[in-house]
Chain A
């Protein structure tokens, strides 16, 4: 198998860790504001799992970069152009329906991807995937249930879920838009080429969205630029303003 380039491996790890970091941040914004107590607790659980995974991915990214940084340095001291998360995860929460639809679409992608990473040629990637895939199996079960419950609920909840799906759909294609880095990692057996995950993803969401009586938009237009860093949305800068504020204003403090 081909030897993997450190820069490319680091890029992959940032893609993994930035997805979980930024989505974890978004989900944590619900804490104390959810529609029911049980949902509040469940969303906090999801955010906690994602942040735990972030420490592992970004910790390994720091190690591979070999610059003596910690996971915290990577999370709190990069500017927006160095982030490699999907645009989907930085989108604002919107209503609870949009949050859960975004969660479901990401969970579906994440669970398929992590499933493949269990076979990674890189031992650390394999170990992180083993831990994360167990958590994400639960996330996808839960978000799928909620999408079905609200899609097949009242007229209003159905309409809101359809609107959420319509809004988010253009951000799905980016998950599978592979580039040279992906091809190199696939050649080295570190990670699958995301393009090859699409069929499993479509099968999974097709089944759940049908049960939810929701209609998948028939457009394959895709916004891109998050995972390559070429162009994020305006929202990412605001997330970083909050997330990185203390670290930036009081550099080198020990918290």
Chain B
């Protein structure tokens, strides 16, 4: 997902007897679907896990600007260019809401940025894959935003108030993105032979990385169990991946494109598709920094931050001068 492999306390879920009175009261609120707000008491593990999760989600939105931004100057029509630019701008906005939500937990945006740039915090593996032809812009909207929605729709009900509210705003825009992406795919799939080739090529390259977005199976994970008890994770990775495949396969068929999986078939008994697992070795390589674009993506963010330092300093210095002049005038 946009947040992958998030570690919680690692100690597993406490039973009621092991909980302090504060912890028990907190868990009762969560169980009763009462939102936790920034000023409320919360376990330290809950706060830290949320910072990791929201922070990683925010970083994914920001780094996620890069693969699609790669095509803004080459978009084939004025309308496509505007739609893409507006989409990438939305992603920056998502980053902004999420950093603000994380700030309510006592961490600053600058601290989170620092952690991203030094590699201490991660962003979603998907954004380490390149966008190589125009249909990739369609595939990213259709598959990547599509996978993001799978995870984020349930998170609208997450226990932490600011996170839940950010998700509600974000989900509306993500479903636009997905429709716009599918619309590009439709045009390409119905277009010239070259366009159709681009569409198939994009699906071939983005299929498995999209499945990886949900993370490896976590049914046995103590981290996931704790996160689910806290309602900052709602479904298991496998549940979401299955849902995604079941939703996407008919869409690919409608486009006349072939999902690159020989084992893909409808399983009547389970009421879902059987499909091949992605290559998890590749996934862990990407997380370690060895994806096709990790170095470029991080360098681009570091460069933007370093090149922008004089701007941030300049604007701050001016704001201070202005405030001082105002005080002097009073």
Find residues 274-324 in chain B having any chain A CB closer than 8 Å to their own CB. 300, 303-305, 307-319, 321
Find residues 47-74 in chain A having any chain B CB closer than 8 Å to their own CB. 47-48, 51-52, 54-55, 58, 71-72
A-B pairs under 8 A by CB, number: 148
Secondary structure call for the B interface? helix
- Are A76 and B314 in contact (CB-based, < 8 A)? no
Q: A45 in the interface, Cβ–Cβ < 8 Å?
A: yes
Of B79, B92, B308, B312, the most chain A CB neighbours within 10 A belong to B92
Q: How far is the CA of A33 from the CA of B321 in the complex (A)?
A: 28
User: What is the number of residues of chain B that contact chain A, defined by CB distance less than 8 Å?
Assistant: 50
Find residues 60-87 in chain B having any chain A CB closer than 8 Å to their own CB. 62, 65-66, 69, 72-82, 85-86
Residues from chain A with Cβ under 8 Å of B304 in the complex: 32-35
Q: B205 in the interface, Cβ–Cβ < 8 Å?
A: no
- Are A45 and B308 in contact (CB-based, < 8 A)? no
Q: B165 in the interface, Cβ–Cβ < 8 Å?
A: no
Q: How far is the CA of A39 from the CA of B304 in the complex (A)?
A: 12
Q: B95 in the interface, Cβ–Cβ < 8 Å?
A: yes
- Residue in A32, A35, A252 whose CB lies within 8 Å of B66: A32
Chain A interface bracket (under 10, 10 to 19, 20 to 34, 35 or more): 35 or more
Q: How far is the CB of B89 from chain A (nearest CB, A)?
A: 4
Q: Given A44-B92, A45-B89, A254-B191, decide whether A150 and B314 contact each other with a Cβ distance below 8 A.
A: yes
Q: How far is the CA of A221 from the CA of B304 in the complex (A)?
A: 34
- Are A36 and B76 in contact (CB-based, < 8 A)? no
Question: What residues of chain A have their CB less than 8 Å away from a CB belonging to chain B?
Answer: 25, 28-29, 31-41, 44-45, 47-48, 51-52, 54-55, 58, 71-72, 75-76, 95-97, 146, 148-150, 152-154, 156-158, 160, 239, 242-243, 245-247, 250, 252-255
24 pairs of residues in contact across A and B, judged by CB atoms under 8 Å: A31-B65, A31-B72, A33-B303, A34-B304, A34-B308, A35-B312, A36-B308, A38-B96, A41-B92, A44-B89, A96-B311, A149-B318, A154-B310, A154-B313, A157-B311, A158-B314, A242-B74, A246-B134, A250-B192, A253-B76, A253-B191, A254-B187, A254-B191, A255-B77
